[in-house]
């Protein structure tokens, strides 16, 4: 017997039939003697429908009211899931974020969990019930409904697993687990059995869409192991956990590609202290997330600075940079959108040398030019021509011995 947290995303509970199927899966686990807390998302599409309604009323709906509106998506799913469990004889009770004990800060639409009172969930479990918790939502100390932002349901699941001291936390998704590369681009990609939090984080921030970084960070912070697995079959998925010694035997755990970044190139900047600071302060104030930043050595009193931003922010970023340049008196800005980022990730890099050399050789052999390079302790990222990035990732995947046997 184990205490298990299971999270089902919007696709898994997308309609009545799927909710019934999820209920049957839950029953199977319970019949094996397990205690269960289930975290569910809104049915696929519901959140977007609600957003569309809000936008039909006003282009910039108030954040507090957005949270009030969006929270109903999960509230529908928890009620229907509890009913589906009752219908097959499983005692179950639904809980909104508030009822589950999740207290957040005041930042509507992207609230952080401040406190999580374990007593409601523990009481339900002690009463022999399967608890169905609404993902993505909580309540602030004024009693106002808040939502946790993108990936919020995963975050709820990890937090629940932490406070109820779950033995297992399973994140059910529409993929089988975490792969060494995107199988649609790299047919030889294989499922990773175990991955460290850091590797998972680097993959997430490098374009692998399985989970949002903050859920992984949260799990890392509290030491919650979790498994990413498919809601459509019973295959074991990928376990995400603290780094172990044996993990270092693998140099590169996976390859990730991000095609949603644009490159902003600033040339001939007056090379004096504070210019870069001004640029990035302006971007930060506009809440534009900057990914890679590369600056070469200043020469003849001018420097070149390149960074990447999400493509959706290109225009805004360019305008802001132009404004800063006008202030500092010099430099020009150019935008390149046909760029893509390729990253290799692995804790083994810490103890193996020659990883960068292998990466660069592999790309050179394909005639693919490397543009920006950026490294961290367990990751190397490069940007290349977007048109060649899929060739690039297949070659790199093979070079690091990731192709399936």
Q: Do 182 and 257 meet the contact criterion of CB atoms below 8 Å apart?
A: yes
DSSP per residue over 269-290, as a string?
A: EE--TTHHHHHHHHHHHTTPPP
R_g (Cα) of the chain, nearest Å:
23
In this chain, which of 3, 25, 64, 311 binds a copy of itself, going by CB under 8 A? 64
Q: Which of residues 70-99 bind a copy of itself (CB under 8 A)?
A: 71-72, 75-76, 78-80, 82-84, 86-87, 93-94, 96, 98-99
| Selection from 141, 148, 94, 136 nearest residue 117 by Cα | 141
User: How far apart are alpha carbons 18 and 12 in whole angstroms?
Assistant: 6
In this chain, which of 57, 287, 297, 405 binds a copy of itself, going by CB under 8 A? 57
**Residue 61 in the binding site for a copy of itself (CB under 8 A):** yes
In this chain, which of 11, 44, 51, 66 binds a copy of itself, going by CB under 8 A? 66
**Residue 19 in the binding site for a copy of itself (CB under 8 A):** yes
Burial environment of residue 118 by CB neighbours within 10 A (0 to 12, 13 to 18, 19 or more)? middle
Q: Do 161 and 5 meet the contact criterion of CB atoms below 8 Å apart?
A: yes
Angle at 209 between CA 309 and CA 316, to 5 degrees: 20
Least separation in angstroms between residue 135's CB and a copy of itself is: 15
**Residue (130 or 402) nearer to a copy of itself, CB:** 130
**Residue (1 or 56) nearer to a copy of itself, CB:** 56
Least separation in angstroms between residue 101's CB and a copy of itself is: 10
Q: HSE of 158 in the Cβ direction (CA atoms, 13 Å)? A: 28
Q: Which of residues 132-191 bind a copy of itself (CB under 8 A)?
A: 143-145
Least separation in angstroms between residue 169's CB and a copy of itself is: 24
Least separation in angstroms between residue 9's CB and a copy of itself is: 19
**Residue (37 or 349) nearer to a copy of itself, CB:** 37
Least separation in angstroms between residue 59's CB and a copy of itself is: 8
Provide the 10 A C-beta neighbour count for residue 56. Answer: 8
In this chain, which of 65, 105, 243, 248 binds a copy of itself, going by CB under 8 A? 65
Q: Do 26 and 6 meet the contact criterion of CB atoms below 8 Å apart?
A: yes
**Residue (119 or 398) nearer to a copy of itself, CB:** 119
Q: Which uninterrupted H or E stretch holds 355?
A: helix 355-365
Q: Do 342 and 257 meet the contact criterion of CB atoms below 8 Å apart?
A: yes
Please list the residues that pair with 264 across neighbouring strands: 307, 335
Q: Which of residues 99-118 bind a copy of itself (CB under 8 A)?
A: 99
User: Number of residues in contact with a copy of itself, rule: CB under 8 A?
Assistant: 36
Q: Which residues of this protein are in contact with a copy of itself, per CB under 8 A?
A: 16, 19-20, 50, 53-54, 56-58, 61-62, 64-66, 68-69, 71-72, 75-76, 78-80, 82-84, 86-87, 93-94, 96, 98-99, 143-145
């Amino acid at each position: 017997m184990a205490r298990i947290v299971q999270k089902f995303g919007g696709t898994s509970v997308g309609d009545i039939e799927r909710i019934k199927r999820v209920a049957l899966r839950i029953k199977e686990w319970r019949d094996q003697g397990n205690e269960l807390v289930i975290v569910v998302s809104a049915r696929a599409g519901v959140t977007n429908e609600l957003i569309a309604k809000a936008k039909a009323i006003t282009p910039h709906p108030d954040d507090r009211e957005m949270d009030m509106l969006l929270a109903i998506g999960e509230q529908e799913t928890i009620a229907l899931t509890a009913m589906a469990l009752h219908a097959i004889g499983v005692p179950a009770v639904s809980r909104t974020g508030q009822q589950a004990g999740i207290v957040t800060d005041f930042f509507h639409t992207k609230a952080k969990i401040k406190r999580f009172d374990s007593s409601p969930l523990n009481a339900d479990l002690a009463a022999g019930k399967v608890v169905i918790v609404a993902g993505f939502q909580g309540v602030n100390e004024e009693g106002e409904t808040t939502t946790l932002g993108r990936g919020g349901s995963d975050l709820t699941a990890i937090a629940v697993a932490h406070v109820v001291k779950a033995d297992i936390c399973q994140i059910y998704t529409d993929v089988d687990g975490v792969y060494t590369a995107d199988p649609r681009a790299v047919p030889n990609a294989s499922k990773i059995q175990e991955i460290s939090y850091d590797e998972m984080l680097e993959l997430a921030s490098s374009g692998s869409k399985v989970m949002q970084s903050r859920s992984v960070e949260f799990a890392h912070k509290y030491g919650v192991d979790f498994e990413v697995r498919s809601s459509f079959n019973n295959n074991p998925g990928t376990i995400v956990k603290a780094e172990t010694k044996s993990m270092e035997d693998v140099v590169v755990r996976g390859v990730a590609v991000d095609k949603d970044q644009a490159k902003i190139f600033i040339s001939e900047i007056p090379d004096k202290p504070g210019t870069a600071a001004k640029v990035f302060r302006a971007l930060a104030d506009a809440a534009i997330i900057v990914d890679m930043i590369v600056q070469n050595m200043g020469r003849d009193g001018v420097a070149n600075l390149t960074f990447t931003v999400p493509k959706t922010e290109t225009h805004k970023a360019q305008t802001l940079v132009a404004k800063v340049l006008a202030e500092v008196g010099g430099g020009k800005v150019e935008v390149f959108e046909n760029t893509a980022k390729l990253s290799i990730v692995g804790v083994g890099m810490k103890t193996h040398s020659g990883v960068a050399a292998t990466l660069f050789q592999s790309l050179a052999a394909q005639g693919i030019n490397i543009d920006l390079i950026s490294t961290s302790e367990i990751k190397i990222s490069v940007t290349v021509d977007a048109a060649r990035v899929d060739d690039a990732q297949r070659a790199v995947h093979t070079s690091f011995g990731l192709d399936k046997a």
